[in-house]
Amino acid sequence: MSSFVLVHGAWHGSWCWKRVRAGLQAQGHDVFTPTLTGLADRSHLLSRAVNLETHIQDVVNLIRWEELTDIVLCGHSYGGCVISGVADRMPEHIRALVYLDAFVLEDGENQMQHLTEMQSHQFREGVKTLGEGWKVPPIPAAVFNVNVADREWVDRQCTVQPIGTMQQPLSLTGGIPKIQNVTFILATGYTAGSPFPPFYEKAKAKGWKTQTVPCGHDVMLDLPEELTTLLVEARSSSSTVRVDLAPAQRLLANVSIL
């Protein structure tokens, strides 16, 4: 059995992992799904001071105080920025690193610079008009092609996020190359302005294991059982795989968590 640490993306929280968490726990694994500071059930800690470093430290401290080793560390979307920082600092604790339709930053980069000019403009306008100059409003679930049955629920659950988390450059010191087992999973059903295909191509060039899944951006909601299987498989060997999950996706499109 293994320990899994699953890190959510922007505007989300631990809640988005509940289906995958249940699936992994049913197999006997230990599963940790921390909510990052200032979001969801920790939204009472929201402040202008919260940045990427805050969120990296959230996960570093979880691993240290839970005394976790040999872990599978997965980050979704913005969570890719977070797990890169964590993996750089404590590679000896990590058995496998999984980027789930996620940003993979190089040293000195931030998330914002990987958005299109139109996306960056929309973020800035949202912060200016709705976010008091520092809070980024959530993007509607429909934009990410979340399955229809879950969209209203996801929009209710999402909370604003401090712009500093997306603007602060990531500082890396060379720890990640010490991790031999790295996977990138691309959601091919999210095509409207997705920034993630270039990271998928870079992952292939690096020799990482690469996978594709035919669903929207929130893979943990659209295809939880299939993602659970992929996470378990990510603990081992490298390969490039395309997973044909269209029948399962059609079934899940009619199922809501509520």
pLDDT band, very low/low/confident/very high, at 250 (cuts 50, 70, 90): very low
Residue 13's Cβ-side half-sphere holds a number of Cα atoms within 13 Å equal to: 19
Average pLDDT of the chain is 92
What confidence score (pLDDT) does residue 35 get?
Answer: 98
- What residues are labeled active site? 77
Higher pLDDT, 128 or 43: 43
Q: Is residue 249 predicted with pLDDT exceeding 70?
A: no
3-state SS class at 6: strand
Residues 106-143: tens digit of each pLDDT: 999 999 999 988 788 788 888 989 898 999 999 999 99
Q: What is the pLDDT of residues 58-94, one digit of tens each?
A: 999 999 999 999 999 999 999 999 999 999 999 999 9
CA distance readout (Å), 68 to 2, 71, 80, 90, 92? 10, 7, 19, 11, 10
Higher pLDDT, residue 240 or 201? 201
pLDDT at 254 over 70: no
Sketch out the chain's domains with CATH numbers. 3-252 (3.40.50.1820)
Q: Which pLDDT score, from 0 to 100, does residue 257 have?
A: 35
**114's tokens:** 């990987």
Dist CA 94 CA 89 (whole Å): 10
Q: Tokens 């929009």 map to which residue?
A: 155
